[in-house]
Amino acid sequence: MPTLDVTLILAAAGCWAVAGLLPLAGPRADRGGTFLGVLGSLLGAGAALHALLAPTAPGLSFTFWGAPARIEVDALSAAFLLPLHLVAGLAILYGREYWPLSAPKGSGRSVRVFFASQVAAMTVLFVVRQGLLFLVAWEAMAVSAFFLIQTEHERPEVRRAGWIYLAATHAGTLALTAMVILLAHRTGSLLWNPVTGTGSPLDAWILLLAMVGFGFKMGLFPLHFWLPSAHASSPSHASALLSAVMLKAGVYGLLRVSGLLPTIPRGFGGGLLALGAITAVWGVGNALAQRDYKRLLAYSSVENLGIIAMGIGLGWTGRAIHNPWLVALGFGAALFHVWNHSVFKTLLFFGAGSILHATGTRDMEALGGLGRRMPRTLLLLAPAILAVAALPPFNAFLSEWILYRGLFASLDQGYPWSGGLALVALALTGGLAVVAFARFFGTVFLGNPRTDAAVHAHDPSPTMRTPMAVLAGLCLALGLASPLLLPLLGRAAGGAGLTEPGLLGRGLGHDLRLLTALEALLLTLAALALAWLRRQPAAAERPPTWDCGYAAPTARMQYTGSSFADPWAALLPGRSVRMHRLKGLFPKPHALHIEVQDAVGEGLVVPWFVRMAARAQRLRRLQPGYLSVYVLYVLIALLAAFLWPLLRARLLG
Amino acid sequence: MPGFLVFPTHVALHLLVALLLPPLIPGLIAKTKAAMAGRQGPPVLQLYYDLARLARKEAVFSRTTTWVFLAGPIGALAAGWVASLLIPFGQTPAPVAFQGDVILFAYLFGLARFLTILAALDTGSAFEGMGAAREAAFSALAEPALFLGFAALAKATQSLSLTPMLLSHGAAGGRLTGPLILVLAGWATVYLAENARIPVDDPNTHLELTMIHEVMVLDHSGRPFALVLYGASLKLVVLGALILDLLLPPTGRPWLDWLGFLAGLGALAIAVGLVESAMARFRMTKVPQFLVAGILASAFAFLLLLV
């Protein structure tokens, strides 16, 4: 008899599966599809919240292809189901208008189908506890994402992004398949039950394969190469789902699989910590040089996944040296950042979608002054901008604060070097994120419009604004209510190997309450200062900006985003500048070209992939297209299958 | 709750100093510079007069700006006040102390800076954009110097709270003397850079092309400008307290501690005035080198304590 939570989760997955098919029947059924999707999200989010609060984990056992299988909704699953259904429910509402059913070339239908199938696949993914089913759900999720990325497949760069993504995700699946086989060997069954007893040499291989397979999905350096163009190519509400939840499937996998193992071999924690630090710095460094604001957001996802990986690494270190306090801080910070990143990155992608909708361009340098033309978008996006820069009092600051505490605590635990370097990397990441997002916000929303596209921009309709308002409120609420979330985070970290769920609340509760009280004080002081400013009479006439007496400034004289970030972007290894030397007393007009390429992703890994693909073309000769040849293959395979048992005894003795 | 709201009189004194004292510091600096140049100079209380005048004047807003333009001064002020609650003044503990407050302290300055940069970009002026870009570039260098100094002290005192970090370093003994000097050197560069003083930035320059901080607030007037000026002076006190806490010895008598702290603030202002009289601003290209030297000093202190 399945319990309530399991029933609700299965119902949610079912709702989403049907919600994807309804739009095919026409515009009227599309409304029903949206309704079913929202219903599914409400069911899923409700069940997840219930499971987070419940002390026991309900499960359901059954057989699948003759093998025992099990689904279980424990707190770790719930910690990922909650953001999934929050984001998916808001995104389907947003997408109704952002990507209407009547979009050209049938893309309105395909987006709805694959969006819903991806949500259904991920719902299943987060609750299955069996290797084979996990891989099936994983593939369903990955392939749905491929079709979402390929929505505008008539554009060559979109096709390229899609194929690179497909190659990357399947390379990851290959590693995961090997991991599932090894895990089955280790536990004796395909079921994912925690292994008791002592560690075995196999554990290191399982973790290594998990880091590769899930690392592809998380975008861990240097496996992040597929991510920026894939996220820039898909429709914005689908980008939000990919960035806010699909990348986290890798995080879930790492936490789940490592939670099954009895111990974590030494070195893995420090290794993942260092890898996360490199990923974070590399991601934010590339983010601040992008001109395309959706690519900027995608690189910022790389950065944030790096921060999450640092948390997991810290937790693993804690498990390796049997220090529950480090485990609690590391996993707690990672899970909290998963939530926070889901909220603010979804809001940012919705905002990016609204800008794209209003102006039709993804080039930041063509925009400017949108704040006066889209005042509501400006107001709704401001919390996300402050959150992504990890500034108080918004949510991401709190998760980074927990991570800082963990890193400082690890300095005295025999890991001074990885902890110290990660500390510096986290501080540097925060500093550079400020530059990157001051650039984004300033270039797009502030100042004067740089082109006509920006002059005629307007706020989106309430259908698109309402989901953004919900997320903007959550950015602040999660920041101010963080002391209440500590017990939930502790319980969720239990699934990842934290033995004492109450530790996080006991250890951090007092400090976090004082911290949030100070944040409330900050907001109060700001409100008082604003009230004081408002009581002063302002000049009725609004003159142009004082530009040091220059009377006729043009919008082109403003600082551009590229020049704003140039002092830091100039340090990037993948940046090339082409400029002709000016000659003579009266030089002719000249042009300056700056190109930024991800030196590792686009510069090294993608070309290597392309070379491998070219080599793999030789295998195409095996597939000539004649039926008779294929029949021959079948025959050879059959013969081999018959001969093998006969010859085995003779060959192997 | 250890350390939280312990001595009501001290808390009251702390709040009074944080609220009322800051505008005095720029006056002291200006007076020192005037004395060095043989001029009489403006009265020491000049900034108080300026603030009172600005509070009465009408504010003018450019037609380009939005509410973000006001978020700069407001954010800088609110963040400065909250930060002033976290830092001990002299040898008396801060009104609020908890493990991890040092991270909040550092990020509050980040918040203030972020909002100031956005307010500058909101005007759409080329000059203010230039100032914002410079501020973003240089402060991202000043931040690590501050942070690495905190990391070194946190490692030395086994604490992540400003009050024990800054007040109990004496207990660590002679091993800390070397790193402490390095941290002080690193923080001195932070103090000059964050407060826009010579040799990083010249608050009295007349050419917009050579400004950093001043050019970002060109468009502010009336009460918003009063908040900007007050916020800048508050920063002088808060960051000055950071340096003084490391330098001042504990006397054991609370009133002596307070007197020492106030005298120290005055001495620091006079020292800044002397530096400004003695040297010129660096060329823009030299500023990063100066700030990186600060980072290296703090980083070396951290490394010394790590091994």
Q: Compare all CA atoms of chain A with the CA of B221 and give the residue at the minimum distance.
A: A538
Considering the domain boundaries, does residue A617 fall inside one?
yes
Could you tell me the CA-to-CA distances from A191 to A70, A131, A183, A260 in Å, in that order?
Answer: 7, 6, 9, 11
Considering the domain boundaries, does residue B1 fall inside one?
no
Q: Compare all CA atoms of chain B with the CA of A442 and give the residue at the minimum distance.
A: B121
The reply to whether residue B107 touches residue A557, judged by beta carbons under 8 angstroms, is: no
> Which segment, A155-159, A335-339, B2-6, B143-147, is predicted with the most confidence on average?
A335-339
Retrieve residue A416's tokens: 């001074």
The domain total for chain B is 1
Considering the domain boundaries, does residue A144 fall inside one?
no
Contacts of A379 in chain B (CB under 8 A): 67
Considering the domain boundaries, does residue A69 fall inside one?
no
- Per the CB < 8 A criterion, the answer to whether A479 and A505 are in contact is no
Q: Is the pLDDT of residue A622 over 50?
A: yes
Q: Is A126 helix (H, G, I), strand (E, B) or coil?
A: coil
The reply to whether residue B104 touches residue A442, judged by beta carbons under 8 angstroms, is: no
**Mean predicted lDDT score pLDDT of chain A:** 90
Could you tell me the CA-to-CA distances from A43 to A46, A71, A455 in Å, in that order?
Answer: 5, 17, 43
Question: Which distant-in-sequence residues (6+ apart) come within 8 Å of A629 by Cβ?
Answer: none
Q: Is the pLDDT of residue B4 over 50?
A: no
Considering the domain boundaries, does residue A54 fall inside one?
no
For the stretch A261-273, pLDDT in tens is 988 988 899 999 9
**In percent, how much of chain A has pLDDT > 70?**
99
When pLDDT is cut at 50, 70 and 90, the band that residue A183 belongs to is: very high
Considering the domain boundaries, does residue B2 fall inside one?
no
* Chain mean position to CA B182: 19
B244 and A CB contact within 8 Å: no
Rounded distance between C-alpha atoms, residue B227 and residue B73, angstroms: 6
Considering the domain boundaries, does residue B193 fall inside one?
yes
Question: Which distant-in-sequence residues (6+ apart) come within 8 Å of A598 by Cβ?
Answer: A225, A228, A286, A574
Q: Three-state SS string across A405-450, please?
A: HHHHHHHCCCCHHHHHHHHHHHHHHHHHHHHHHHHHHHHHHCCCCC
pLDDT for the residue numbered A591: 85
Exposure of A96 in the CB half-sphere (CA atoms within 13 A): 25
For the stretch B102-138, pLDDT in tens is 999 999 999 999 999 999 999 988 889 999 999 888 8
Question: Which distant-in-sequence residues (6+ apart) come within 8 Å of A406 by Cβ?
Answer: A311, A314, A326, A329, A330, A333
Report the first-to-last Cα separation within chain A, whole angstroms.
51
Q: Is the pLDDT of residue B171 over 80?
A: no
Region B73-88 average pLDDT: 95
Sequence letter at residue B206:
H
pLDDT for the residue numbered A306: 96
pLDDT for the residue numbered B253: 83
Rounded distance between C-alpha atoms, residue A93 and residue A89, angstroms: 7
Lowest mean pLDDT among A128-137, A284-293, A367-376, A590-599: A590-599
Q: Is the pLDDT of residue A291 over 50?
A: yes
Contacts of A521 in chain B (CB under 8 A): 82, 85
Considering the domain boundaries, does residue A24 fall inside one?
no
Q: Is the pLDDT of residue B5 over 60?
A: no
pLDDT for the residue numbered A580: 79
CA angle A123, A129, A131 (to 5 degrees): 105
pLDDT for the residue numbered B2: 43
**Mean predicted lDDT score pLDDT of chain B:** 89
- State which residues form the domain around A598: 573-579+591-622
pLDDT for the residue numbered B270: 95
What ipTM was predicted for this assembly? Answer: 0.94
Provide the angle, in degrees to the nearest 10, between the axes of the packed helices A462-480 and A503-534: 120
Q: Is the pLDDT of residue A2 over 70?
A: no
Region A136-145 average pLDDT: 95
pLDDT for the residue numbered A573: 86
- State which residues form the domain around B262: 7-306
Q: Would the pTM count as exceeding 0.90?
A: yes
When pLDDT is cut at 50, 70 and 90, the band that residue B1 belongs to is: very low
The reply to whether residue B126 touches residue A408, judged by beta carbons under 8 angstroms, is: no
For residues A613 and A630, state if they share a domain: no
Lowest mean pLDDT among A362-366, A476-480, A595-599: A595-599
B75 and A CB contact within 8 Å: yes
The domain total for chain A is 2
The reply to whether residue A386 touches residue B114, judged by beta carbons under 8 angstroms, is: yes
For the stretch B39-48, pLDDT in tens is 999 999 999 9
pLDDT for the residue numbered A653: 59
Contacts of A525 in chain B (CB under 8 A): 77-78, 81-82
* Chain mean position to CA A401: 20
Retrieve residue A620's tokens: 């195409």
Q: Is the pLDDT of residue A248 over 80?
A: yes
pLDDT for the residue numbered A245: 94
A580 Cα to chain B: minimum distance (Å): 23
pLDDT for the residue numbered B3: 43
B130 and A CB contact within 8 Å: yes
When pLDDT is cut at 50, 70 and 90, the band that residue A516 belongs to is: very high
For residues A617 and A603, state if they share a domain: yes
Q: Is the pLDDT of residue A524 over 60?
A: yes
B185 Cα to chain A: minimum distance (Å): 19
- Per the CB < 8 A criterion, the answer to whether A374 and A454 are in contact is no
pLDDT for the residue numbered B17: 93
